[in-house]
């Protein structure tokens, strides 16, 4: 089965960032031109995530309506509607900012770019090759796992 990819319409920026953290390729569309959004979705084989009911009515085969207001409910909604499994192995594989694949780094590669404490205490680092942002499995990671687990547990 081909990997599902998304393009999130305006107002769904947080959802887009979280889908990236969970490991789903998600572009963000901040433009106003909905014809262009539909064109991009078809061209890049992405599913549009939108709060625009009218858009979904006219583009039902390539879009999913997100009805929930808050992030947690939105993630649950997309999980059910797109049939996603939030799989631990995919977490932290994409940059949350630019949707670019992360590459594994050794401490020696990134030591100059992270706080000394982090370099001493963390082992697993990954870096975005586009923006250079460095990720490691610290508190943010733990909180994220708890957040996603809370979504899955409520199924």
Binding site for Zn ion (CB under 5 A): 95, 97-98, 100, 128, 130-131, 133
| CB nearer Zn ion, residue 31 or residue 132 | 132
Hey, what are 106's tokens?
Answer: 């050794």
What's the min distance (Å) between Cβ of 91 and Zn ion?
16
Buried b (16+ CB within 10 A) or exposed e, 44-70: eebbbbbbbeebbeebeebbbbbeeee
Q: What angle do CA 106, 107, 110 make, to 5 degrees?
A: 95
CA torsion through residues 88, 93, 95, 98, sign: negative
Buried b (16+ CB within 10 A) or exposed e, 105-128: beeeebeeebeeebbeebeebbbb
What's the min distance (Å) between Cβ of 132 and Zn ion?
7
What's the min distance (Å) between Cβ of 42 and Zn ion?
26
| CB nearer Zn ion, residue 67 or residue 129 | 129
Distance CA 57, CA 115 (A): 50
| CB nearer Zn ion, residue 74 or residue 96 | 96
| CB nearer Zn ion, residue 37 or residue 95 | 95
Hey, what are 56's tokens?
Answer: 């979904």
What's the min distance (Å) between Cβ of 65 and Zn ion?
29
| CB nearer Zn ion, residue 86 or residue 100 | 100
What's the min distance (Å) between Cβ of 96 and Zn ion?
8
């Amino acid at each position: 089965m081909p990997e599902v990819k998304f393009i999130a319409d305006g107002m769904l920026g947080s959802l887009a960032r979280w889908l990236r953290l969970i490991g789903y390729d998600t572009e963000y569309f901040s433009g106003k031109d909905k014809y262009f959004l539909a064109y991009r979705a078809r061209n890049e084989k992405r599913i549009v995530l939108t709060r625009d009911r009218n858009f979904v009515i006219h583009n039902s085969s390539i879009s999913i309506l997100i009805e929930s207001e808050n992030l947690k409910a939105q993630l649950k909604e997309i999980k059910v509607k797109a049939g996603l499994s939030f799989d631990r192995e995919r977490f932290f594989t994409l940059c949350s900012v630019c949707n670019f694949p992360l590459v594994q780094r050794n401490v020696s590669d990134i030591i100059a770019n992270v706080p000394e404490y982090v370099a001493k205490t963390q082992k697993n680092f990954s870096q975005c090759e586009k923006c250079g942002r460095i990720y490691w499995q610290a508190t943010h990671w733990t909180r994220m796992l708890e957040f996603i687990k809370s979504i899955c547990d409520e199924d």
